[in-house]
A and B are shown apart, each in its own frame.
Chain A
Amino acid sequence: MSESAEPNQKLVSPPSPSPDDDTELPQHNSPPPISYSTDPIWSDVIPIPQQEGPFPVVRIAYTNEFREVHDYLRALLKSNEVSERALSLTKHAVSLNPANYTTWQYRRLILKNLKCDLQEELVFNAEVIEKHPKNYQVWFHRQKLTEWIGLPGQEFEFTAECLEDDTKNYHVWQYRQWLLEKFPSYYKAELEFVDSLIKNDVRNNSAWNQRYFVLSKTSEFTVELVRREVEYTKLCIRLSLHNESPWNYLRGILNGQDLALHLEVKAWILETISKRKPSIYAYSILIDICELQIEEGDVTALSEALSYCSILREGMDVIRKEFWAYTGDRLSGLVVSSKQ
Chain B
Amino acid sequence: MSILFFSLSGMDLLGALDKCQDKQQIVDWIYSTMLSDKKSLKTGFRGFNIGSDFSSIGSPEFCPFDSGHLAMTYTALASLLVLGDNLSRVDRESTARAVGSLQNEDGSFLSSLDGGECDMRYVYCACCICFMIDDWRFVDANKVAEFVRRSVSFDFSIGQGPFLEGHGGSTFCGLASLALMGRLDQCLGAKLKERLKKWCVFRQVTGFHGRPNKRVDTCYSFWVGGALKLLDANNLMSREDLIEFLFTTESDVTGGFSKWAGHMADPLHSYMAVSGLSLLEYPGVKPVDVMLNISSEAV
Contact = CB atoms under 8 A, between A and B. Distances in A.
Is chain B a partner of chain A in the same complex?
yes
A77 interface: yes
Interface in A179-224: 203-206, 209, 212-213, 216-217
Given A50-B48, A319-B241, A101 B214 contact: no
A244 interface: yes
A54 interface: yes
Nearest to A53: B54
A209 B165 contact: yes
Nearest to B240: A319
B28 A326 contact: no
A213 B194 CA distance: 23
A66 interface: no
Contacts of A319: 204-206, 238, 241
Interface stretch (B110-118, B129-137, B175-183, B256-264): B110-118
Interface stretch (A12-20, A27-35, A246-254, A262-270): A246-254
B194 A140 contact: no
Interface bracket on A: 35 or more
A78 interface: yes
Contact of B155 (A52, A102, A249): A249
B4 A74 contact: no
Q: Interface on chain B toward A: helix, strand, loop, or mixed SS?
A: loop
B164 A48 contact: no
B51 A170 contact: no
B163 A136 contact: no
A78 B238 contact: no
Nearest to B200: A323
A174 B48 contact: no
Nearest to B79: A57
Contacts, number: 151
B237 interface: yes
B86 interface: no
A2 B7 CA distance: 42
Nearest to B169: A170
A48 B51 contact: yes
Interface bracket on B: 35 or more
B63 A253 contact: no
A105 B236 CA distance: 45
B166 interface: yes
Contacts of B202: 244, 284, 320
B282 interface: no
Nearest to B204: A319
A245 B29 contact: no
B214 A205 contact: yes
A244 B212 contact: yes
A168 B213 CA distance: 10
Contact of A57 (B4, B53, B241): B4
A195 B26 CA distance: 53
A326 B236 contact: yes
B50 interface: yes
Interface in B24-44: 25-26, 28-30, 32
Contacts of B235: 322
A236 B156 CA distance: 21
Contacts of B212: 203, 205, 244-245, 248
Contact of A249 (B63, B114, B154, B204): B154
A51 interface: yes
A154 to B, nearest CB: 23
Interface string A309-329: 000000000011111001000
A190 B213 CA distance: 22
Interface in B53-81: 53-54, 56, 62-66, 69
A52 B154 contact: no
Interface string A224-246: 00000000000000000001110
Contact of A205 (B50, B161, B204, B211): B211
B249 interface: no
Contacts of B165: 170, 173, 205-206, 209
A313 to B, nearest CB: 12
28 contacts: A50-B50, A51-B53, A51-B54, A52-B29, A53-B49, A53-B54, A54-B54, A55-B25, A57-B25, A101-B116, A168-B214, A170-B164, A170-B165, A205-B165, A205-B214, A206-B165, A212-B154, A244-B202, A244-B212, A248-B155, A252-B154, A252-B156, A284-B198, A319-B241, A320-B237, A321-B238, A323-B198, A323-B237
Interface of B: 3-4, 7, 22, 25-26, 28-30, 32, 48-54, 56, 62-66, 69, 111-112, 114-117, 153-156, 159-161, 163-167, 194, 197-198, 201-202, 204-206, 211-214, 233, 235-238, 241
Interchain residue pairs A-B with the least CB separation, the first 9: A252-B154, A53-B54, A55-B25, A248-B155, A209-B165, A74-B51, A77-B63, A244-B212, A323-B236
